Amino acid sequence: MHAFAIWLKGTDLSWLVTHHGWVWATCEALHFIGMSILFGCIGALDVRMLGWWKSPPVAGVNALVRWGVFGFLINLVTGAVFFIGEPLQYVDNPAFRFKMLFLVLAGWNVLLFYVTGVADRIESLEPDDDAPISAKVFAGTSLFLWVGVMFFGRMLPFLGNSF
Amino acid sequence: MGIRGSSQPQMREPESEPAIERAIDETIRRYFMRHEPSPRVYARAISTAQQPSAAGRDGSTLRSWIVAAASATAALLLVNIALHFFGVVAARAASDIDGRTGPFLLWLSSTGLARWINESETVFGYSGILFLHTLGLAMAVGASVVVDLRMLGAASRISVAALLPVFRFMWIGFILNALSGAMLFAADAPRKAANPLFEFKLVLIAVGIAVMAMMERSLLKSGSGAALVGSERRLTNLAITSLVIWTAAIAAGRLVAYTL
Amino acid sequence: MTFRVMTGVVLGIVGALLGGASLLAHHSLASQFDEGKPLTLQGVISKVEWVNPHVWVHIDVKDSSGAVEQWALETLPPATLRKGGLRSDMLGKGQTVTVLAYRARNESKLAFLRKITFADGREIVVWVGDIKQAK
């Protein structure tokens, strides 16, 4: 992994990312925007399932999930730009490793949510209906994991040694 | 509680009203009302009781004050930035890294709080406060994005009334960011106060909050019906403005981290 | 519906680009500082700002003609420096130090502190992620 990072740092693409000053700053702004869209839309569904926001039908909130995916894709792309630009400040960084771990776990959580059929069970819930316990577990885990991703992202220069 | 006059149309079937309500009605009629209310007064009382109470909602006055204060601050800051820009106020020398040295700002930077934040090495110090700032912005902008997307037509099965509680998350995020932001400012007050980009960020946030408060008021006034008060076009424009403003605020905030 | 949503989103992204496309270069290490042009500076510490998110060490460097240049050296946060062995009490005003630093791309008197050598010969390297690469 470390050798890959050193190789990546020497590529033209990496040079491109760091040579033009506006690339990094713009990608950082977009990364925060994608994070907000993701957290807002996925958080909306989680909050509906947890019962903190009971007024809409779940099918209505489900329609926001595709926008959450859109936010995630923005962050995937901008995150790749950061990694390509400065691989060495992430590859040995414990905060980055935890962030990736939480990210993978969040993805795993989403997968289980759909594969176990809980997603189908809640699809038909009308306004003010309570979600089943299984859905609440998925929702709570999702919130915890995404907040964790944000936390370790913020800690990159503090727990680890990124600039 | 229904005030019933003998000559007026019954608003509810007598049998469906609980007995105690009937007893209260009867008592009031007998002891407090000399005459039957006129038909007009009666009808007006009924229609007022039936209307969804928008004015009585808790916090709407507070929100109006917040919007007013935010707008005033934004206007002042914009004037300040313009003065910098047009050279009326002397620009900071490039090598002057000390920032503004007014007495309040100097005092702020000398407080124990500022020193603790600056020199902290654990997650309970600077990095934790920064994390809370990020979390607050994710909540505030995230909630705004949900509302804006709905105003622009996405997730249309969410009714307008169902959208109202989302604003609460936006306000919680905003308050979290105001508090964490105040601490971050206190830690570096002279330099932040001299940074026009920081002031611009505050302006953008003030405008963003005002736009969201305007949208919230429009949705409140529309009651529980599906029809929206204010033209649909106006709400669409507000939604688009909100998205642009929050995006620019995030960008400005990121850039503040780079500029002295 | 979709058209309006996309308009809103696109305008939002345009806002981001307007905000980000600034003339100032920042904020990855390599985009702000040129790692290919390391400088060696010897000077007297005039000021230390031991603050989050970046510690700043200001040194006065005498050049060949005797004129004094004021350099600002930016580096990592306090916690990270301390873990690497550099403590705030090791940096005192008036100390003579030799530093290896990467100059800022905007050619100002700003550099990223990479290695600091004290008068008694002690040397501390500030590593950015790649401790195995620390020279």
CA angle A10, A16, A17 (to 5 degrees): 95
Query: B65 and B42, same structural domain?
Result: no
CB contact under 8 A, C76 and A157: yes
Q: Is residue B1 part of a domain?
A: no
Q: Is B104 a member of any domain?
A: yes
- Chain A nearest-CA residue for C79: A158
Q: What is the mean pLDDT of residues A130-142?
A: 94
C81 in helix, strand or coil? helix
pLDDT attached to residue B38: 66
**Containing domain of residue B18, as a range?**
9-47
Q: Is position B225 within any domain?
A: yes
> Please, what's the b/e burial string for A55-82 (b: 16 or more CB within 10 A of its CB; e: otherwise)?
bbbbebbbbbbebbeebbebbeebbebb
What percentage of chain C exceeds 70 in pLDDT?
Answer: 75
In-domain check, residue B156: yes
Dist. CA A16–CA C31, nearest whole Å: 10
Q: Say yes or no: B153 and B242 in one domain.
A: yes
Supply the pTM of this predicted model. Answer: 0.79
Higher-pLDDT residue of B33, C64: C64
C-alpha distances out from residue B13 to A84, B6, B16, Å: 73, 13, 6
How many percent of chain B have pLDDT more than 90? 23
Q: How many domains does chain B have?
A: 2
Is B55 among the domain residues?
A: no
Task: Check residue B5 and give its pLDDT.
Answer: 46
Q: Is the confidence at residue B233, as pLDDT, over 90? A: no
User: Does position C114 have pLDDT exceeding 90, yes or no?
Assistant: no
Please tell me whether residues B202 and B150 are part of one structural domain. yes
| Residue A109 near residue A46, CB atoms below 8 Å | no
Same domain, B104 and B131: yes
Residues paired with A90 in a beta bridge: none
pLDDT in tens, B71-107: 777 777 777 777 666 655 544 443 345 666 677 887 8
Q: Are residues B98 and B224 in the same domain?
A: yes
**Residue B135 and residue B15 share a domain:** no
Of B125, B149, B244, the CB nearest to C11: B244
Domain match, B64 and B43 both: no
Return the pLDDT at B192. 84
On whether both B31 and B106 belong to a single domain, the answer is no
DSSP H helices in C21-126:
29-32, 78-83
* Statement: residue B226 has pLDDT above 60: no
A154 lies within 8 A of chain C by CB:
no
- Neighbours of C (≥3 Cβ pairs closer than 8 A)? A, B
Residues B175 and B243 in one domain: yes
Looking at the fold, whether B35 and B122 belong to one and the same domain comes out as no
B41 and B158 share one domain: no
Instruction: Return the percentage of chain A with pLDDT > 70, whole number.
Output: 100
Contact B156/A60, CB-based, under 8 Å?
yes
